[in-house]
Structure 1
């Protein structure tokens, strides 16, 4: 019974260990037009020399490279569109992250395939002074605040993911210990019952001999 419990625990521990120890994550943020991020294992350290590919909504590859010794990467966005970033660490380790267009500066051109890709021109009847005044970009305070808050909060995601993985790992270990405990308890009962049975048989043999 104990051997069976240990074998069952080992069978459960193997897949759980692989699932928890080799979970790749990707985090990215925006500073102006610069998209930067890093790849890491949760739980674990940074992923070095992982393949990074960033694509635009039309499928065009806008960046391709590998992470540095700290698992980091960066590239400059040329358009204000959603960017899908994919990381490939080999051996089936993959992760993804999406940078939203709203996180990028409004000064960047939008999606060239969209119908409103061409910037509007001032009306011919509009006085020159008015046209110059309205052409100046107005900073979006809400967008600036959102980007600033995102830069402060997003790094906490890695810590949260690591904490969740540690909690799951503890749950797995607790379940394995519970299985082994039940196996030991069953073995104890079986041994005690067997001892009593052998004693009764021995007593029966003695009575028969007398």
Structure 2
């Protein structure tokens, strides 16, 4: 009998303990690449931002933590794209820890900072042909008479001219590409921001079902307690 009397209390305690997880704040993190930086927006809701949340930038392929940062009072974080991620061209996972067990994550695709990867790969080879021409010129001058040296120098200059032109064209193409990418990214940043805000879900079906179950459970406890009182009064 004592166990039956305690049953409603135990059920009530279980239901009261469950909402601490079912109705906990849902934390969100959205991120996009703007130039050479990753811009992250962290929030519980549109009006409740994650203040001083810790964001870890993780290599999605290796699991290595490449960088960490802390959100400001507005839930925002701007952090440079890690050089290792640029070199490896790996996707990045951003893990947000907002305290009290709340955490969320999102993925930044490597394609979003592909222009940085292309620029990094182009830099080591940019001046290689020029150095080769510089090494060849002294050798020809040292091993030839004055007239032959002049002819060799003219030949070197003639042969080096197309290479220099090619270098200039490659450098110009890279500069223009970077400028266009940066301009497009800066123009699209506000649009991305609006899309991220509009994509926030207010309440998920799971949360609705959990709330309904919680209410039904309370009514069940009340009905059970009422039936117990009737049984006692009938006796």
**TM-score, normalization by structure 2:** 0.56
Distance 2:5 2:213 in 1: 16
**Residues 27-70 of structure 1: CA deviation (Å, up to 9, x unaligned):** 21222222111322369822212222224466665433322112
Alignment CA distance shift 1:95-1:120 (3 Å): same
2:51 alignment counterpart? 48
Partner residue of 2:219 out of 152, 177, 181:
181
Q: 1:74 deviation in Å?
A: 0.7
Residues matched between the structures, number: 188
Bigger helix share = 2
> Which residues of 2 match residues 191-202 of structure 1 at below 5 A?
none
Contact 2:67 2:82 in 1 (8 A): no
Over the residues paired in the alignment, what is the CA RMSD in angstroms? 4.5
2:198 alignment counterpart? 156
Distance 2:224 2:35 in 1: 64
Gaps of 5+ in 2: 130-158
> Which residues of 2 match residues 2-13 of structure 1 at below 5 A?
4-5=7-8, 7-13=10-16
**Residues 153-188 of structure 1: CA deviation (Å, up to 9, x unaligned):** 23333x21x322xx5444323223323434555566
Work out which structure has the larger RCO, using CA pairs closer than 8 Å and 6 or more positions apart in sequence.
1
Distance 2:49 2:28 in 1: 9
1:204 alignment counterpart? none
* Other structure's SS at 2:203 match: helix
> Which residues of 2 match residues 1-210 of structure 1 at below 5 A?
4-5=7-8, 7-41=10-44, 45-56=48-59, 61-77=65-81, 79=83, 80=86, 81=89, 82-104=91-113, 106=115, 108-109=116-117, 127-128=162-163, 129=165, 132-133=168-169, 136-137=173-174, 139=177, 148=188, 150-157=192-199, 159-160=200-201, 162-164=202-204, 167-185=205-223
**TM-score, normalization by structure 1:** 0.61
Contact 2:22 2:210 in 1 (8 A): no
Gaps of 5+ in 1: 199-210
